[in-house]
């Protein structure tokens, strides 16, 4: 049995072990803050994608109406 040792764990910060299912091995730990930052980044990327998609549609509409 592998006991994960991480400085955050010993400092009392709640962490969850990360498991690589492809290689069947422990690869690190994830804290609550790490998880929140990942969610924020994902939300930002999705918002940026939607904005660019909408901007492209507007550009296309402008080009077709000017012809």
**DSSP labels for the chain?**
------HHHHTT--EEEEEETTTTEEEEEEEHHHHHHHHHHHHHHHHHHHHHHHHHHHHHHHHHHH-
pLDDT digits over 7-55, tens only? 666 777 788 888 899 999 988 888 888 889 999 999 888 888 888 877 7
Expressed as residue numbers, the domain containing 45 is: 7-66
Nearest to 29 by CA among 51, 6, 10: 6
> How far apart are alpha carbons 57 and 4 in whole angstroms?
49
**Number of domains the chain contains:** 1
pTM over 0.75: no
Is 19 within the bounds of a domain?
yes
Which phi and psi angles does 31 have, rounded to 5°?
-90, 170
Is 32 within the bounds of a domain?
yes
């Amino acid at each position: 049995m592998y006991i994960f040792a991480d400085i955050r764990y010993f400092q009392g910060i709640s962490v969850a072990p990360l498991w690589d299912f492809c290689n069947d091995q422990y690869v690190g730990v994830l804290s609550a803050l790490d998880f929140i930052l990942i969610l924020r980044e994902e939300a930002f990327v999705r918002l940026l994608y939607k904005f660019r998609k909408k901007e492209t549609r507007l550009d296309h509409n402008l080009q077709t109406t000017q012809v």
